């Protein structure tokens, strides 16, 4: 499918290395780009993002074929593979750059995200209320090349083994039917 026909979901669930690794494995996802969004300066650098003062979140853009995977299915995987109940934190990663957020591209995405969060809260899926923000997408800045495909290039790194591998195990355990076969 041509890239212009793909839909785009922009998600922030802590460190973008984790979310990128998860969504790269989902059937119907053609490409995932790590980057920054939701902040207040143009063209931020990683060192600036790390301070937490730019307002940006580490996020990903997921380019997907909605005939193979829906936005709501992506949300289901998103919520299952990070903690949406901790404000500005994922594990040992602390700061606004690690917040849980959905940056919607369309009103339909906004409505689906809000409805899904309401469902999760009403069903008490988590032990605390969801703090994931739902915000209109502004500028998205690609992270440097060394942050793209980080997990695939660094599987032996301790961060990958202790933080990302458990997320991938959870993904393969609960969503094996949604994974790419190659």
Per the CB < 8 A criterion, the answer to whether 48 and 41 are in contact is: yes
Per the CB < 8 A criterion, the answer to whether 56 and 46 are in contact is: no
Give how far the C-alpha of residue 29 lies from the chain's centroid of Cα atoms, to the nearest Å.
13
Question: Reduced to 3 states, what is the DSSP secondary structure of residue 48?
Answer: helix
Residue 182 confidence (pLDDT): 72
Q: Both tokens of residue 96? A: 């606004």
Beta strands in 18-77 (DSSP E): 29-37, 57-64
Residue 2 confidence (pLDDT): 65
Residue 128 confidence (pLDDT): 96
Residue 34 confidence (pLDDT): 97
Residue 92 confidence (pLDDT): 87
Q: Both tokens of residue 6? A: 């793909």
Q: What is the largest CA-CA distance in the chain?
A: 41
Q: Both tokens of residue 24? A: 């790269």
Residue 158 confidence (pLDDT): 94
Q: What are the domain boundaries of the chain? A: 3-169
Residue 102 confidence (pLDDT): 98
Residue 155 confidence (pLDDT): 95
Residue 60: which of 132, 141, 164, 130 has the closest Cα?
A: 141
Query: Which residues are tagged catalytic?
Result: 15
State the Cα–Cα distance between residues 15 and 175, nearest whole angstrom: 21
Residue 137 confidence (pLDDT): 97
Mean pLDDT by 10 residues, the chain (182 residues): 83 96 97 96 91 94 97 98 95 93 98 98 96 97 95 94 95 96 80
Type and span of the H or E element at 135: strand 133-136
Q: Which residues contact 14 (CB under 8 A, 6 or more apart)?
A: 58, 82, 83, 89, 90, 91, 93, 98, 100
Topology of domain 3-169, CATH: 3.30.1060
Per the CB < 8 A criterion, the answer to whether 76 and 68 are in contact is: no
Q: Is 157 exposed, middle or buried (0-12, 13-18, 19+ CB in 10 A)?
A: middle
């Amino acid at each position: 499918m041509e890239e212009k026909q793909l839909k785009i979901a922009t998600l922030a669930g802590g460190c973008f290395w984790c979310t990128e690794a998860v969504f790269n494995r989902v059937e119907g996802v053609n490409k995932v780009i790590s980057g920054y969004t939701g902040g207040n300066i143009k063209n931020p650098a990683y060192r600036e993002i790390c301070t937490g003062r730019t307002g940006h979140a580490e996020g990903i853009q997921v380019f997907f074929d909605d005939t193979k995977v829906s936005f709501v299915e992506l949300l289901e995987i998103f919520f299952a593979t990070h903690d949406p109940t901790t404000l500005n934190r994922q594990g040992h990663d602390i700061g606004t750059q690690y917040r849980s957020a959905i940056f919607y591209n369309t009103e339909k995405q906004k409505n689906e995200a809000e409805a899904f969060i309401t469902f999760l809260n009403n069903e008490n899926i988590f032990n605390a209320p969801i703090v994931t923000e739902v915000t209109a997408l502004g500028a998205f800045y690609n992270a440097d090349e060394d942050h793209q495909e980080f997990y695939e290039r660094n599987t032996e790194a301790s961060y990958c083994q202790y933080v990302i591998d458990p997320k991938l195990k959870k993904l393969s355990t609960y969503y094996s039917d949604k994974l790419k076969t190659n």
